[in-house]
A = this chain, B = another copy of it.
Amino acid sequence: MIEKYNIPTPKQKRVRIDEEISFDTFPCVLKVDLPIHKSDIGAVITNIQNIEELKKAKEIILNNLKKHNIEAKYLLIQEQIEGIELILGGKFDDIFEEVLILGAGGTLVEVIKDITYIDTNSDEEEIKKAIFKTKISKIFPEFRGKKYNLNALIDVIKKIQLMFKNENIVEFDINPLIINEKGAFAVDVRIKEGVKNKKKFTPKKYSLFENKNVAIIGASEKPIKVGYAIAKNALSSKANIYFVNPRLNELFGKKVYHSVDELPEIDTAVIAIPTKFVIETVEKLAQKGTKNIIVISAGFKEAGNKEGELKLKEIAENYGINLVGPNCLGIYNSEMELNLTFSKAPIKKGEIGIISQSGAVLTALLDKAYFYDIGFSHIISMGNMADYNFAHAINELNNQDSCKIISIYAEGLQFGKEFLKAIRNSKKPVLFFKAGKSEAAKKAAFSHTGNLAGNYEMIITLSEIAGAIIKPSVESLIFAPKYLDKKEAIIVTNAGGPGTILTDIVSEYKKIKDISEYINALNKVLPPTWSHNNPIDVIGDATSERYKNVLEILKNEELIFVIVTPQFMTDSVEIAKMLTNYKNTVPIFLGKESFKEAEKILEEKKLIYFTSLEDILRIL
């Protein structure tokens, strides 16, 4: 296999145990040709300098094998390659299919775990990004006076990608893969063949956001029903809205159809009816040519009803439609001013396209977004993802011009390779938050969605390498977009300590700007003891006037964190009022008792402000 894919190996020779041993390249290594931890039982001897030593080495190995009761037929003689040991392995993963694992090698690989993941579809640039996520990559291009050939490593990885994709291999290990100035050499290889169990991914034919004629199946007059909320939220849309309910004649002044059969031709249907009627209704709608079906109703996989879920998937595939859900909050399409969710908070028009696996997380985000005037171009609540999945959603949002940024909340993933492709091909930034990092959380996620949360590190690493922006907080998904293109930050503070702590937090995500250009101007408005540095410490006796003078000087800056601590002279109410005029600032009022009034002002103006430093993670 290794030969077929032209992967460099040391010069080597396989000899039968009972045949005379010989080799022509020294130093060399002799080892038993068996898939075991050879060094642990003394079945590898290195640094063999000549034919006599080779013969002696054979005796020693045969002896050691005997001691451990291991039977072997062949020995392997290899040219000894000097260099640094890496390990390059591969595993067929439930989510991402063929995935490579690269890391520091040697006997301690298991304890050190300095590894990275590489998708078999990654190009050279991504492979490089992946390599440089390991600590061992610090050997490139040179380490302790010796050169290491990065290109040779990339070349081997590319060949292995091909091998893994093309062959019936479910697992393999190249351990060690020795790298030196000349190249990268596979010294020991173990391959496990098997059948890859791949799920078929079908790209979507229709846009989910072609919503001219929309039916709400299960529209209700009872305010405690989800079908009421959706009908009400949908009412003011530019689309034609049709209601269906067998018990009603009229709702919100509109005619109510008694069954799906009576409906005119529609492109989109939302289903909020008892579980037992869902499948037949979906089938009828699909037959009628409905292209987008959003199943709000629950009672499927999450409730143990796997059969019903499979049936939904089957219908969607048979008719080639978009089936979103089941067990979801709905969708929103700003271009049609169409809110097909049962969100309590209204939804404002904006530039974020959000894709959420959890309806509740989405609800909470929408509630905050409305308060803080954050708008959305599109919303897709994914629910159980019987059919429509993350890859479909990302591709869809890429086709929507009004969506400028894509935010994803995920617990588990399906079709990982397609997910990575969608991220890779995205013309818009993709923000990504993944729940289920800890073992305890994985258990929780499984119990509430029936989905395996997957290997957190693998999902995060592969997504980041493919181009996703990994977010530290779920609220970043709605708060961070506003600050995403602001790469440099200035901190203005009336106290040094909090400035230092904030610098720790912010500097992981933004550059702490060099403010040399402002020093002269700042000298004129600040007391001589100011910090002369970013954070700009305006000193504890700063009043709103002094803060204002500083902000005037910085008025062309894009991102200024303004820390206010309750110092003796701090006129916090005036500072709060003043700050409402500076759109480039993020106010942080570190206190509570002294800031009751100031908080009210910020709250009324719906400013995004903070009262804790760590909270800033929300916008980073």
Residues of A within 8 A of B (CB): 37, 40, 46-47, 49, 53, 84, 104, 106-108, 110-114, 135-136, 138-139, 143-146, 224, 226, 229, 302-303, 342, 344-345, 356-361, 363-364, 367-368, 370-372, 409, 411, 435-441, 443-445, 447-449, 453, 472-475, 494-501, 503-504, 507-508, 512, 529, 531-535, 537, 540, 565-569, 590-595, 611-615, 617-618
Chain B residues positioned under 8 Å from A53 (CB to CB): 49
Chain B residues positioned under 8 Å from A613 (CB to CB): 473-474
Chain B residues positioned under 8 Å from A360 (CB to CB): 494-498, 540, 565, 567, 590
Asked if A345 contacts B569 (CB within 8 A), the reply is no
Asked if B441 contacts A496 (CB within 8 A), the reply is no
- 5 residue pairs bridging A and B, Cβ less than 8 Å apart: A84-B107, A112-B135, A368-B592, A370-B593, A441-B504
Asked if B371 contacts A593 (CB within 8 A), the reply is yes
Chain B residues positioned under 8 Å from A361 (CB to CB): 495, 497-498, 501, 565
A221 to chain B, nearest CB (A): 15
Asked if B363 contacts A566 (CB within 8 A), the reply is yes
Asked if A345 contacts B594 (CB within 8 A), the reply is yes
Chain B residues positioned under 8 Å from A498 (CB to CB): 358, 360-361, 364
A467 to chain B, nearest CB (A): 24
Question: Which among B435, B531, B611 is the interface contact of A500 at CB below 8 angstroms?
Answer: B435
Chain B residues positioned under 8 Å from A453 (CB to CB): 500
Given known contacts A358-B498, A361-B501, A367-B566, what 7 new A-B pairs fall within 8 Å (CB)?
A: A106-B108, A363-B566, A364-B591, A368-B592, A372-B592, A444-B535, A473-B613
Asked if B496 contacts A448 (CB within 8 A), the reply is yes
How many Å lie between the Cα of A453 and that of B612 in the bound state? 22
How many Å lie between the Cα of A473 and that of B613 in the bound state? 8
Asked if A363 contacts B565 (CB within 8 A), the reply is yes
Question: Which among B144, B367, B435, B531 is the interface contact of A594 at CB below 8 angstroms?
Answer: B367
Chain B residues positioned under 8 Å from A500 (CB to CB): 411, 435-436, 441, 444-445, 448, 453
Chain B residues positioned under 8 Å from A595 (CB to CB): 367
Chain B residues positioned under 8 Å from A443 (CB to CB): 533
Asked if B501 contacts A344 (CB within 8 A), the reply is no
Question: Which among B49, B104, B438, B448 is the interface contact of A112 at CB below 8 angstroms?
Answer: B104
Asked if B438 contacts A504 (CB within 8 A), the reply is yes
Measured CB to CB, the nearest residue on chain B to A476 is B614
Asked if B529 contacts A501 (CB within 8 A), the reply is no
How many Å lie between the Cα of A409 and that of B106 in the bound state? 42
Chain B residues positioned under 8 Å from A370 (CB to CB): 592-593
A381 to chain B, nearest CB (A): 11
Asked if B444 contacts A503 (CB within 8 A), the reply is yes
Chain B residues positioned under 8 Å from A503 (CB to CB): 438, 440-441, 444
Measured CB to CB, the nearest residue on chain B to A433 is B501
How many Å lie between the Cα of A597 and that of B592 in the bound state? 19
